[in-house]
Amino acid sequence: MLETWFMEDEYAKLIRRMNPPRVTIDNSSSADATIIQVESVNKPGILLEVVQVLTDLNLVITKAYISSDGRWFMDVFNVKQRNGNKVRDEGVISYIKKVLESDAFYVPSLESSVGLKSSLDYTSIELAGADRPGLLSEVCAVLADLSCNVVSAEIWTHNARAAAVVNATDDMTGCAIEDPDRLLTIKNRLCNVFKGNNDLKTAKMTLSPPGSMHRERRLHQIMFADRDYEKVEHEDVTGLKAEVSVLDCVEKDYTVITMRCKDRPKLLFDTVCTITDMQYVVYHGVVHTGKMEAYQEYYIRHVDGIRISSEAERERVMKCLEAAIERRTSEALELELCAEDQVGLLSEITRIFRENSLCIKRAEISTENGIAKDTFYVTNTTGDGPVDPRTIDSIRKQIGKHTALDARWNLSPQKPTREETTMSYLFGHFFKFPIG
């Protein structure tokens, strides 16, 4: 069995060497977007690999056409920079070609990646448990009390669950924390914080083993494992709830997934990541974004080549994709903080937020060249009303004049009319098959 696998792997490598990936970047064919075409021998996870590279460069994917049936993969992406301009930076263009044409670049599969990253520079901690107001503040307070400095982190909340990936160092040495007894103390203290009073699920804290994993993909996996897709029923007051359908294409032996929702950055990554980690393969697909809405359509099968066959599996896929879309979607006040980094800064800032009745729905923490650059998405404690501007003024006074704090609302527009939305079943005329 092992010998057969080795021979197949070597054969796949030979085919890739004979047919190296080709990336074409075109700035002349479209009036308002850069067109990136990727052609390659097909391999597991290649679609996620490409989308991840473009997303990590903060590029906005406005259209995509996906085809990977058989042994060949060919995708076309229309992309823009966040400011709406084409991609003209030669350094960025060269990087895209270099990375995507490299045979060594790949995205690890779910099975081969248990954690994030083990580094001599920091200790990587994964957390999952019940969400509640003030949770991040308590986590930061515990880490500060245990002489841990947070150098970077990302925190998501969804459906009353919370997940975090935190990279921390020892206050004194500035290096990773390695003492087993100290690590056990950190684990026990953080598990107590994440457990919650009425949480029927066990809080989880993991020190990531050696290996590499994209942080945002790992957060999706943590929340998926914590079953955040199991709905906490609440009214959709925005009218912008994601519409997800899972149908059969019996004639072509595919399952067809369609998604319609409010457009936002990294949406394509979130859905493709979830489809991949649920062990499905996208054979054909199309993505189109309008002024306010995004439409995605994928023709999939399970990795074993079988389409979705049961109603239970169909419902699970729908719930998981809805969750993937919602994890980064919230009507919240976005607070961007910039300050000289110091030990305990994050603990102090989150304490001030908590004492001013702000609830952190999502956060991105980073430190670069001694400067802390943090983004928080916050609501009031009930989550159903705007944050009082006087509260922000009070917070600015409390954090001091040497810390910059910018605020802007991350509001959803009104639900678009059917005329403004994107066209449904864009591949219908191409395949010409009945869906049932």
Q: Tell me: pLDDT of 430 over 50.
A: no
* pLDDT, tens digit, 9 for 90 and up, residues 259-302: 999 999 999 999 999 999 999 999 999 999 988 899 999 999 99
- Tokens standing for 291? 């002024």
* pLDDT value, residue 350: 94
> How many Cα atoms are found within 13 Å in the side-chain-facing hemisphere of 176?
14
Q: What is the mean pLDDT of residues 367-375?
A: 91
* pLDDT value, residue 400: 84
* pLDDT, tens digit, 9 for 90 and up, residues 191-233: 888 876 555 566 676 766 544 568 899 999 999 999 999 976 5
Within 8 A by CB and 6+ apart from 232, the residues are 159, 160
* pLDDT value, residue 426: 47
- φ/ψ of 174, rounded to 5, equals 75, 15
- Amino acid (1-letter code) at residue 135: L
Per-residue pLDDT band at 4 (split at 50, 70, 90): very low
* pLDDT value, residue 181: 92
How many Cβ atoms are within 10 Å of 335's Cβ, its own excluded? 22
Q: What is the DSSP string of 126-192?
A: EEEEE--TTHHHHHHHHHHHTTEEEEEEEEEEETTEEEEEEEEEETTTSS----HHHHHHHHHHHHH
* DSSP 8-state assignment for residue 418: T
- Tokens standing for 16? 């890739």
* DSSP 8-state assignment for residue 427: T
* pLDDT value, residue 15: 55
- Tokens standing for 233? 């029923």
* pLDDT value, residue 378: 93
Q: What is the mean pLDDT of residues 39-67?
A: 93
- The angle at the Cα of 227, spanning 223 to 231, to the nearest 5 degrees, equals 110
Within 8 A by CB and 6+ apart from 353, the residues are 137, 360, 376, 378, 395
Name the residue with higher pLDDT: 430 or 231. 231
* pLDDT, tens digit, 9 for 90 and up, residues 76-129: 999 999 999 999 999 999 999 999 988 655 444 333 332 334 456 888 899 998
* pLDDT value, residue 21: 86
Q: What is the DSSP string of 296-365?
A: EEEEEEETTSPPP--HHHHHHHHHHHHHHHHTT---EEEEEEEEE--TTHHHHHHHHHHHTTEEEEEEEE
Burial class of residue 435, CB neighbours in 10 A (0-12, 13-18, 19+): middle
Question: Length of the chain, please?
Answer: 436
pTM of the model: 0.84
* pLDDT value, residue 196: 64
Q: Quote the CA–CA distance of 337 and 108 in Å, as a whole number.
A: 33
* pLDDT, tens digit, 9 for 90 and up, residues 172-195: 888 888 888 998 899 889 888 887
Closest CA to 159 of 325, 351, 313: 325
Q: Tell me: pLDDT of 53 over 90.
A: yes
Within 8 A by CB and 6+ apart from 53, the residues are 96, 99, 100
Residues 363-367: contacts with CB under 8 Å, at least 24 apart:
363/136, 363/153, 363/154, 363/155, 364/153, 364/154, 365/150, 365/152, 365/153, 365/154, 365/155, 366/152, 367/151, 367/152, 367/341
Distances, alpha carbon 340 to alpha carbons 260, 320, 376, in Å:
42, 39, 17
Q: Quote the CA–CA distance of 309 and 300 in Å, as a whole number.
A: 12
